[in-house]
């Protein structure tokens, strides 16, 4: 069994978000982490490795510095790391990113592709499903539990107040939620091995069946006008009132804030 | 000379820090209050590979260097002195002598379980009448057929009741040395559950209260002849060499305790207001912090230097690291005591309460000036090297 996991190096928002003067994220000035949903996806793949001896290949697209996130994945137990990096791929939105990753994955044998649901810096949840679309394979998103049954996967897909149980024949793509599992720690020896291992680096020329017009900034239909830090919510206000009084109270508050 | 850590070491530090913050810190107060050995944490450390960091992979360890191991102990100690010493005593005082002096059979038999954390290790040298004077011990081992028969007791044994494998020292005879009869000391590997091996009282301690510190009692305890570690009569050298390595672990523990107290104090002085401003705005506070940080940094360099020197020894046995280890432990332990005492002072009345962790850190720091060779012993080691 072969599993490909897509991971993204994202800013660690715990260390504070920093911006360039033009409003874009100053990624170089921020500490980085492996995107939490992706890490859960990697853990799911590593459990398949523990259980079925699956081979786990981790793919990331980003600056050369994104190699770190591949080393981390390998220190956790992934077998191979592939870094897709090229100047012409810069400035990609979800469309161009999914085209790039699909172009890279076309070079690989796989039974299962796992991506995180969404990255904490973009919050779009589009890249995973788009990759499946480009590759022409089924997708099951928002996985909270994954099981293998013969040549199929059975996945619990999280929903607002319930979950759906879906079965899909492999090859297919699953997008993972951080709640899927508790990712393992790297091991100290794994870290040193990961730095000894070779990372495969691919550029534009290595991407299979992708048009230039679908790559990088030029291939991105979405343009980011401005990025901003999350607006932190205040503590709110708690009041204990009778239902009749509380309706009036809330209405007055909404009027006060010009919501209604 | 380059003082920057490699990317591997940086990533290892990130791992240890994340683990310590998430798994160890939330339990530190409880471990101190209840004086209970943090079994669940040890299980998690086992899974993460922390129980065999410098042990070669062929024996089930992580195959990392001593510096990585020291960094692990340091990061654990920043949040919990107890958890740090569990790893240190297990690794330095049990795994290391078996790796260094064990026969291939002994290494194959004991190291994989120890290095993977399936079993915990301990070391028994100290006796009621033999602390700094290790020659003063009374525990005896007599060969009867294919077995050594042990009689005596060991005190203040870290990981005491929780361990599974013990490196124990005992007198195996008398030999003439420079015209005088002296005790011949040998080392043995003793397993928990061996008939005649029992536990005495649990020590009630000032600090590192979750650490399982017990008396070990041997009453006609018969162990296989093959469980002698190293050659007969070489026990004293094995003990001293083992403690040279152990001191790097304890120095790293002391370093972490000092750094942990400094971190908390930096946060506290920026929050605590007196006379209308944060106490960090007063020059007295600033100067105290500057001194604390400078000493912690100096200690870190010394601990890392000692760890790197022991790594050199692994490659070339002509290298010696006993002076580096003694200096690192002496300085780091005294730094930890000074920094934690200042941390309590800067916290004022709150610092004296158990709600603020600097109080625990001050209690934990004290033992680092005592065990695995007191500060006075370290000074003896250092000066003996100067005057040889």
How far does the CA of residue B9 sit from the closest CA of chain A (Å)?
8
| A221 touches B at CB < 8 Å | no
Q: What is the DSSP string of B88-104?
A: HIIIIIIIHHHHHH--H
**Averaged pLDDT for residues B52-68:** 98
pLDDT in tens, B256-305: 999 999 999 999 999 999 999 999 999 999 999 999 999 999 999 999 99
CB atoms A185 and B15 under 8 Å: yes
Residues in B touching A72 (Cβ below 8 Å): 11
pLDDT in tens, A40-74: 999 999 999 999 999 999 999 999 999 999 999 99
CB atoms A188 and B57 under 8 Å: no
pLDDT in tens, B308-347: 999 999 889 899 999 999 999 999 999 999 999 999 999 9
Q: Is B14 exposed, middle or buried (0-12, 13-18, 19+ CB in 10 A)?
A: middle
| B45 touches A at CB < 8 Å | no
C-alpha distance from residue B373 to each of A68, B185, B321, B332, B370 (Å): 41, 18, 15, 13, 6
How sure is the predictor about A118, in pLDDT bands with cuts at 50, 70 and 90? confident
Quote the CA–CA distance of B343 and B347 in Å, as a whole number.
6
E-only strand ranges, chain B: 121-124, 140-144, 147-157, 165-177, 180-191, 197-202, 214-224, 228-229, 273-274, 277-278
Cβ–Cβ < 8 Å for A77, A184: yes
Which has more confidence, B43 or A123? B43
If DSSP codes are grouped into helix, strand and coil, which group holds residue B17?
helix
CB atoms B8 and A192 under 8 Å: yes
Whether the per-residue pLDDT at A149 is higher than 70: the answer is: yes
B residues 205-234 closer than 8 Å to A (CB): none
Residues in A touching B49 (Cβ below 8 Å): 187-190
| pLDDT for the residue numbered A231 | 66
Q: What does residue B181 show for φ and ψ, rounded to 5 degrees? A: -80, 125
Q: Which of A211, A215, A207 is nearest to A88 (CA)?
A: A215
Measured in whole angstroms, how far is the alpha carbon of residue B296 from the centre of its chain?
Answer: 18
| B72 touches A at CB < 8 Å | yes
CB atoms B12 and A195 under 8 Å: no
| pLDDT for the residue numbered A232 | 65
Whether the per-residue pLDDT at B163 is higher than 80: the answer is: yes
pLDDT in tens, A6-45: 999 988 877 777 787 777 677 777 888 999 999 999 999 9
B338 is catalytic: no
CB atoms A186 and B19 under 8 Å: no
**Averaged pLDDT for residues B172-180:** 90
pLDDT in tens, A201-242: 999 999 999 999 999 888 888 877 777 776 666 778 888 888
Residues in B touching A195 (Cβ below 8 Å): 6-8, 11
**Averaged pLDDT for residues B189-195:** 98
| pLDDT for the residue numbered A66 | 93
| pLDDT for the residue numbered A31 | 85
Residues in A touching B50 (Cβ below 8 Å): 188
- Report helix angle B375-386 to B322-351, nearest 10: 150
| pLDDT for the residue numbered B135 | 83
| pLDDT for the residue numbered A230 | 67
ipTM above 0.90, yes or no: yes
Q: Which residue of A has its CA nearest to B72?
A: A188
How far does the CA of residue B12 sit from the closest CA of chain A (Å)?
6
Cβ–Cβ < 8 Å for A83, A220: no
CB atoms A188 and B50 under 8 Å: yes
């Amino acid at each position: 069994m072969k599993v490909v996991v897509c991971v993204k190096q994202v800013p660690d928002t715990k260390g504070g978000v920093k911006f360039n003067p033009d409003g874009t994220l100053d990624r170089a000035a921020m500490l980085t982490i492996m995107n939490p949903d992706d890490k859960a996806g990697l853990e799911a793949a590593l459990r398949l490795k523990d259980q079925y001896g699956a081979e786990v290949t981790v793919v990331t697209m980003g600056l050369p510095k994104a190699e770190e996130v591949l080393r981390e994945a390998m220190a956790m137990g992934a077998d191979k790391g592939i870094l897709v990096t090229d100047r012409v791929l810069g400035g990609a939105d979800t469309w161009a990113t999914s085209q790039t990753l699909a172009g890279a994955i076309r070079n690989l044998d796989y039974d299962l592709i796992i991506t995180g649901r969404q990255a904490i810096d973009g919050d779009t949840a589009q890249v995973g499903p788009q990759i499946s679309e480009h590759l022409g394979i089924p997708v099951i998103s928002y996985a909270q539990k994954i099981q293998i049954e013969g040549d199929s996967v059975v996945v619990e897909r999280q929903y607002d107040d319930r979950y759906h149980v879906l079965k899909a024949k492999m090859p297919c793509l699953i997008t993972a939620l951080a709640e899927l599992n508790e990712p393992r720690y790297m091991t100290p020896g794994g870290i040193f091995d990961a730095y000894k291992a070779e990372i495969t680096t691919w550029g534009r020329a290595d991407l299979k069946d992708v048009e230039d017009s679908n790559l990088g900034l030029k291939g991105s239909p979405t343009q980011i006008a401005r990025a901003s830090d999350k607006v932190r919510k205040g503590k709110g206000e708690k009041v204990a009132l009778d239902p009749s009084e509380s309706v009036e109270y809330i209405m007055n508050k909404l009027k006060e804030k010009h919501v209604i | 000379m380059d003082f920057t850590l490699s990317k591997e070491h940086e990533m290892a530090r990130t791992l240890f820090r994340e683990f310590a913050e998430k798994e160890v810190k939330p339990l530190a107060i409880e471990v101190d209050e209840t004086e209970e050995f943090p079994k669940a944490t040890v299980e998690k450390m086992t899974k993460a590979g922390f129980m065999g960091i410098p042990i070669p992979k062929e024996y089930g360890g992580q195959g990392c260097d001593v510096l990585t191991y020291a960094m692990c102990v340091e990061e654990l100690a920043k949040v919990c002195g107890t958890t740090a010493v569990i790893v240190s005593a297990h690794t330095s005082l049990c795994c290391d002598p078996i790796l260094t002096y064990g026969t291939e059979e002994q290494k194959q038999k004991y190291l994989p379980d120890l290095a993977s954390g399936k079993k915990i290790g301990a070391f028994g040298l100290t006796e009621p009448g033999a602390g700094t004077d290790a020659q003063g011990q009374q525990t005896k081992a007599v060969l009867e057929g294919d077995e050594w028969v042990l009689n005596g007791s060991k005190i203040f044994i870290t990981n005491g009741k929780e361990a599974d494998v013990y490196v124990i020292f005992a007198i195996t005879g008398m030999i003439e040395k420079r015209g005088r009869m002296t005790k011949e000391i040998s080392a043995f590997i003793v397993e928990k559950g061996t008939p005649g091996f029992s536990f005495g009282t649990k020590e009630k301690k000032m600090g590192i209260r979750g650490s399982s510190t017990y008396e070990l009692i041997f009453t006609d305890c018969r162990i296989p002849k093959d469980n002698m570690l190293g050659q007969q009569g070489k026990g004293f050298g094995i003990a001293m060499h083992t403690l040279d390595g152990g001191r790097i672990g304890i120095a790293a523990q002391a370093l972490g305790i000092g750094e942990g107290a400094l971190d908390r104090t930096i946060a506290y002085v920026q929050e605590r207001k007196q006379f209308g401003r944060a106490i960090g705005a007063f020059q007295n506070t600033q100067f105290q912090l500057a001194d604390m940080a400078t000493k912690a940094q100096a200690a870190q360099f010394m601990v890392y230097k000692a760890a790197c020197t022991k790594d050199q020894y692994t490659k070339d046995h002509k290298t010696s690291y006993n002076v580096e280890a003694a200096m690192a432990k002496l300085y780091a332990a005294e730094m930890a005591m000074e920094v934690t005492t200042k941390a309590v002072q800067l916290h004022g009345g709150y610092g004296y309460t158990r709600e603020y962790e600097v109080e625990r850190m001050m209690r934990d720091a004290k033992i680092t000036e005592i065990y695995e060779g007191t500060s006075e012993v370290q000074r003896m080691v250092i000066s003996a090297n100067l005057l040889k």
